[in-house]
Structure 1
Amino acid sequence: MTKLHRCNKYSGIASVVVVVVVVVVVVVVVVVVAAAAIVIVVGVIVVVAAAIVIVVGVIVVGVIVVGVVVVEVVVVLAAVAATAAIVVVLCSISNRVVSRPSQGAYGGLG
């Protein structure tokens, strides 16, 4: 085998090795880029889910706060109504007492 034949043989093997290495590098780069894209998409999904959870939490807290305010308003209105009822009852009793004729010395005329 001459030097030229050996050179051709080795150059053929070298070119196959170069092609295999380039293909492996391209496949690795594609896999890494795809994995990075998947990680980015998952990250965006997680951020969106967190935002949804935050919005739902704010809505729930808002509903709770509004519920508490409504309950407080109802309690205050009930207290006002009870106070008004007590005032009406007391005024009614007071009016009955005042409107009775006094049993004085002048036969109820004064």
Structure 2
Amino acid sequence: MVKAAAVVIVVVGALGYYVWDYNTSPTGGKAKSEASASAAAEEAKTHDPEVGDCVKVADPQGEPLPTVVDCNSPQAEYKMGEMLPGTQLECASQYDYGIQYHNSRGFDYTLCFTKV
């Protein structure tokens, strides 16, 4: 009986230490998952241009992916001029390029760009 109680105490203590370390350690699991989520959010921002941002476009004829870059950079290809709600809309003739997005959350839009 004493041995069983000792085993239970050791297991509960080890589990408690693991949970405490996971939540408080700067290199523990919680810190790593928060850092990973933060890095993913920052990466997503680089592919979500706003009006006035300059972008370079990967795979412009296939599945285009705009990446925000500095407007003075030699990588800058286009400058975003307008975001239209929906994908059935065409960019006005003043724009040189458009990208249509369909996302799973139901918010579809068209991005309109001019050449830099």
Instruction: Report the TM-score, using the length of structure 2 for normalisation.
Output: 0.34
Asked which structure has the greater RCO (Cα within 8 Å, sep 6+), the reply is 2
Structure with the higher helix share, 1 or 2: 1
Instruction: Report the TM-score, using the length of structure 1 for normalisation.
Output: 0.35
